[in-house]
Amino acid sequence: MPTIFDSFIEKQQAGRKSIAVLIDPDKVDDGAKLQHLINLATENLVDYFFVGGSLITTNNLAEVVRQIKKSVTIPVVLFPGNSIQVEPTADAILFLSLISGRNPELLIGQHVIAAPIIKNTKLEVLPTGYMLINSGRITSVAYVSNTIPLPEDKYSLAACTAMAGEMLGLKLMYLDAGSGAENPISPRMITAIRKAIKAPLLVGGGINTSHKALAALEAGADTIVIGNALEKDPALLTELADKVYEWNQGLAKK
């Protein structure tokens, strides 16, 4: 049976772009709101749900995963902010190493704590290089992770960071400007990293218009991750999905 990693590779090899909807359990305060988003994601043939956040205060991670899984077959991938965000009923976990930072806890420390717990689950482990790129102001993830994001105009530094992550065996690369970022990651930065590595490239943070989504795809992103904007305007998902669909049909202006 193909794994979730296989699905990233297959899409990448076919030149198909994908969408991941990020659900921050702290921001879905009621089941109806979450259900609306789940239904929209299904209608729009979204590829993945990512679930997690820098800080979860509501203790509802398991409930969010349960509600998604009972409604749809879209894979649920954990996007953990720390080692306690391991929910065995999800399908996979982004095993994130925060390679843009120099906080050993997020390079290897939390992983040691989480490894034996994950080992006892059926979660598919997706070794992922996680790179924070400066977006103009301090984001929650930069603050909570106690790391300095890569400067947004240091293309070579970012490319070498991604390259090193890939050489260390990381299978996916996730470039993040941080949830609700003022500015998404620039196309120039995405292209610099795209040229440096072969791994599927996930890009998120501050993508709140279809124009920004398309710019990220054109620059070389394989998967765009959308969270914050949908919490405010779930209907935006249809617009974004249309762009990805057009791209995948070869209709998008290049």
24 annotated to bind ligand: yes
54 is in an annotated binding site: yes
Binding range to ligand 1GP, per CB under 6 A, among 57-65, 100-108, 203-211, 240-248 = 203-211
* Closest by Cα among 165, 169, 182 to 229: 182
Distances, alpha carbon 136 to alpha carbons 180, 181, 205, in Å: 11, 8, 12
Binding test (CB under 6 A) with ligand 1GP, winner from 207, 216, 240, 244: 207
Kindly state the smallest distance separating residue 132's Cβ from ligand 1GP, in Å.
Answer: 9
For the beta carbon of residue 181, count every other beta carbon within 10 angstroms: 25
CA distance 80 to 98: 12
* Pick 161 or 208: Cβ nearer ligand 1GP: 208
Coil/strand/helix, residue 183: coil
87 belongs to the binding site for ligand 1GP (CB under 6 A): no
Q: Which is nearer to ligand 1GP, 149 or 205 (CB)?
A: 205
In the three-class reduction of DSSP (H, G, I as helix; E, B as strand; rest coil), residue 138 is classed as coil
Q: Does 228 bind ligand 1GP (CB under 6 A)?
A: yes
DSSP string, 72-122: --S-EEE--SSTT---TTSSEEEEEEETTS--HIIIIIHHHHHHHHHHTS-
What letter would DSSP give residue 133? Answer: B
If one asks whether residue 227 binds ligand 1GP (CB under 6 A), the answer comes out as yes
DSSP state of 185: P
Neighbouring residues of 232: CB distance < 8 A, sequence distance ≥ 6: none
205 binds ligand 1GP per the rule CB under 6 A: yes
The pattern of x and - marking residues 3 through 42 that bind ligand 1GP according to CB under 6 A reads -------------------x--------------------
Instruction: Tell which one of 196, 206, 213, 219 touches ligand 1GP (CB under 6 A).
Output: 206
Task: List the binding residues.
Answer: 24, 54, 174-180, 205-206, 227-228
Residue positions forming the annotated binding site for Mg(2+) = 24, 54
Q: Which residues define the annotated binding site for sn-glycerol 1-phosphate?
A: 174-180, 205-206, 227-228
